[in-house]
Structure 1
Amino acid sequence: MKKLAGLCLASWLAITTPNQAHARADVLALQEGYPQEYVVVKGDTLWDISGRFLTQPWRWPEIWGVNPQIDDPHWIYPGDVIYMTWVDGKPRLRIKGDNKLVPRARATPLENPIPAIPLKDMDAFMQENVVLDDELLAETPYVLGGRNKRIIAGAGDRIYARGEMESDHKYQNIYRPLQAFHDPITDELLGYELSKIAEAYVVSTNDEDIATLELAKSQQEVRVMDRVLPAPETRIQSMFYPAPAPEETEGYILSVDGGVQKIGRFDAVAINKGRREGVKPGHVFIVYAAGEEMDDPVTGERVKLPDEEAGTLMVYKVYDKVSYALVMTALNVLSVGDNFKSPDL
């Protein structure tokens, strides 16, 4: 099926470029020197393509004239030609050869559509980290040990867990707690991050809430006190309607995948805002790197330089007090502790 602007296209127009310029809220700003046409090539991502046209790409519905309430995804393929036109004095994007924003069939060799984001590079982190509050963590079933009183186990081994299992979930994931998230300003406990280390299926349960599980796959050895949660029945959302985060929403980067301090493009980060602040998948934030400190050569006092815009985040997974986001642009090296704000702030 040929493709135009739809749910997938929402994703590809969610990223800014290093030449980002803030436009008035009522003006749709285009990139300076945007191309009249662009030919999609193999290896492109929709994120990369989007920045060629818009300075605020999360405003894609305006430039495509699409109703975002219509759940009708379309696709873009290598070889497609995207061009700019004007309708009633407003810019519009089209795909060459299509007169209307409707899907239609074409004869073509089987080929994958251009991905919205490089899932092959980040899918593991997107799928395998979860956040639980202290109450849920306390209620989550835990590993007692393995057969023959073994304290570690791997793929093909049998383990035992205690706690109330959801009876309609045969397949379970094994998680290991990584860290507690605390708000950097208030020190509020925001939740506990857990990382998936294995997959298992339930063999049997008894009246004492003890379950027997067979380990089907493991990335790390399973140990006593690892946690057991039902395997999700659906994959994480990979197509988004990007939009500015709620006005006056700002916060801080809590951590980055791998436990490093420096952050670059397409790194996954945890932030200290979530569902209770109205944050949703697809929300966009601007990141500001903390200004450096230096000595004033005249007064000798220590002064802090202004924070500077350093990149863009897009939220992809939301919990009550914490969210995960992808770094979609990085104008400079980002760091844990950097501040982020809504583009409308």
Structure 2
Amino acid sequence: MTNRLIARCLTALLLALPCLAVGADQEEPAVYVIKKGDTLWGLSDRFIKDPGYWPELWSKNGQITNPHRVYPGQKVRVFPDRLEFVQEGDQKSVAAARPEDAVQNVTEEQRFAIRGSEGYLMETGMKPFGSIIGGHHDRIIIGMDDIVYTDIGAVNGVKGGEKFSIFREEGAISHPVTNEIMGRKIVPLGTLQLTDIEQTASRAIITKTFKEISPGAYLLPYRDERRREVSLKMPSRQLKGNIVESYSGTTTIAAGDIVFIDLGSVNLAEPGNMLYIVRDVDLDRRYTEGRGATLPQELLGALVILETGRKTATALVIKSIDAIYKGDKIVSHTK
């Protein structure tokens, strides 16, 4: 399945914003003047209801170096099926623009929230720093502001006031295609802060919770788990990989689910990269033998990378039009 075809198919997946109506029989196209906050993604979505069109728009306009940053005052001709940036000195097109042709509402760059509780794969070589060995008054279920005890002490070089991330480990995750061990699945539970340090132990207070915490939970050096956002970013190279596991562990994956994929910083994958989820179409060999038929891949949905490790990444499934499973392929759409 070609990138162009995938991009066109994704039109059915992504929400369309209100668009500017431009009549097919109009003698001159409307000219939109770029406002602060506009992006190629937003312009494509707003005017031709095809957010997947923006890589084509970018590739045909060399003056646009950053696909997610266009500048106020630039002008775009709006056709029913395409957009064209007005080149400098093209006075005829600029003169044809009428005040009523400009859209006043600004399309903001699309962003995706990271809550801090998405989880990740702890890759080979990383180990827990310590663990919670008990709760105050022998509590089994521990929550916000509760006192706990850890096996981290002065021998570990820590000081009072240091923070640690609390997590649950759910075992090694193997690649569904190659069987390679990709890492150990980490489920964030919250954070704590050390208050009193002894030689080999310490007292701490729970400062944030995502899920119920119990003695035995592991500790890692503090990860910034404040809510933040990532913006869509075009991949710097073609990316191809697979979905390795889901956060929930369920068999069927759908829109809104967190997944882990086999692409990381070594593959030049970055937060904000959008990938399409596809599956090869298999036909009965009795009817295709000797013909060498290659069919277009089935488009299943799309995901956005939220955070990357070295060889893996955490991603959010933003759209699904069919059931998605571990092992399904992911591909990028690049310039």
Please give the range of the TM-score, normalised by the shorter of the 2 chains. 0.5 to 0.7
1:261 and 2:251 equivalent?
A: yes
Q: Say if 2:241 is the partner of 1:243.
A: no
8 Å CA contact 1:245–1:284 kept in 2: the answer is no
For residues 231 and 73 of structure 1, the distance between their equivalents in structure 2, rounded to whole angstroms, comes to 37
2:220 is the alignment partner of 1:229: yes
- Partner of 2:179, secondary structure, is coil
8 Å CA contact 1:252, 1:271 repeated in 2: yes
Structure with higher Rg: it is: 2
For residue 276 of structure 1, what is the amino acid of its counterpart? V
Q: Give, as a single letter, the amino acid of the residue that structure 2 aligns with 1:87.
A: V
Match for residue 86 of structure 1?
Answer: 85
1:236 and 1:330, CA in 2 relative to 1: closer, same or farther beyond 3 A?
same
CA contact (8 A) 1:156 1:215 kept: yes
Query: Which residue among 113, 117, 120 is the counterpart of 2:111?
Result: 117
Instruction: Tell me the distance in 1 between the aligned counterparts of 2:44 and 2:222.
Output: 34
C-alpha separation in 2, matches of 1:60 and 1:328 = 23
8 Å contact 2:281–2:297 — kept in the other structure? yes
What displacement does 1:322 show? 1.0
The code of the aligned residue for 2:110 comes to A
Secondary structure of the residue aligned to 2:111 is coil
Partner SS, residue 287 of structure 1: strand
2:131 counterpart (112, 137, 142): 142
> Tell me, what secondary structure is at the counterpart of 2:231?
coil
For the residue of structure 1 that corresponds to 2:219, the secondary structure is strand
What displacement does 1:250 show? 2.1
C-alpha distance in structure 2 between counterparts of 1:35 and 1:55, whole Å? 19
* 1:160 alignment partner, one of 142, 149, 154: 149
CA contact (8 A) 2:262 2:313 kept: yes
Q: Structure 1 313/88 Cα, relative in aligned 2: closer, same or farther at 3 Å?
A: same
**Two-structure CA RMSD over aligned residues (Å):** 4.7
Greater alpha carbon shift after TM alignment, 188-197 vs 217-226 = 217-226
1:211 aligns with 2:195: no
2:186 counterpart residue number = 194
- 1:115 CA drift (Å): 6.8
Provide the secondary structure at the position in 1 that maps to 2:126: helix
CA distance in 1, matches of 2:294, 2:260: 26
- The yes-or-no answer on 1:55 pairing with 2:52 is yes
Maintained 8 Å contact 1:257/1:267: yes
Counterpart Cα distance in 2 of 1:68 and 1:152: 49
Deviations 1:112-171 (A, max 9, x none): 99572353xxx43x544133224322x421111123444442233211112447548633
Partner of 2:266: 276
The 1:167–1:68 alpha-carbon spacing in structure 2 relative to 1, beyond 3 Å, is farther
Hey, what's the Cα distance between the residues in 1 that align with 2:150 and 2:249?
29
Percent of aligned pairs sharing the same letter? 18
CA contact (8 A) 2:254 2:320 kept: yes
Q: Are the counterparts in 2 of residues 173 and 231 from structure 1 also a CA contact under 8 Å?
A: yes
- Name 2:304's counterpart in structure 1: 314
1 CA distance for matches of 2:288 and 2:267?
44
Q: Deviations over 1:173-203 (max 9, x none)?
A: 3111134222223322211121122332221
Structure 1 distance, partners of 2:334, 2:112, is 27
Q: Contact 1:199–1:217 at 8 Å: present in 2 too?
A: yes
Letter in 2 for 1:86: F
What is the distance in 2 between the residues matched to 1:68 and 1:166? 43
Distance of 1:224 and 1:140 partners within structure 2: 15
Q: Distance in 1 between matches of 2:10 and 2:215?
A: 51
8 Å Cα contact 1:255/1:336 also seen in 2: yes
Q: Displacement of 1:253 after TM fit? A: 0.7
Partner residue in 2 for 1:68: 66
So what's the TM-score if we normalise by structure 2? Answer: 0.64
Answering whether residue 328 of structure 2 is matched by residue 334 of structure 1, we say no
Alignment check: 8 A CA contact 2:169 2:186 kept: yes
Report the AA paired with residue 218 of structure 1: T
1:220 aligned onto 2:190:
no
Task: Sort the Cα spacing of 1:271 and 1:19 in 2 relative to 1 into closer, same or farther, 3 A.
Answer: closer
Query: Which of 107, 121, 124 pairs up with 1:131?
Result: 121
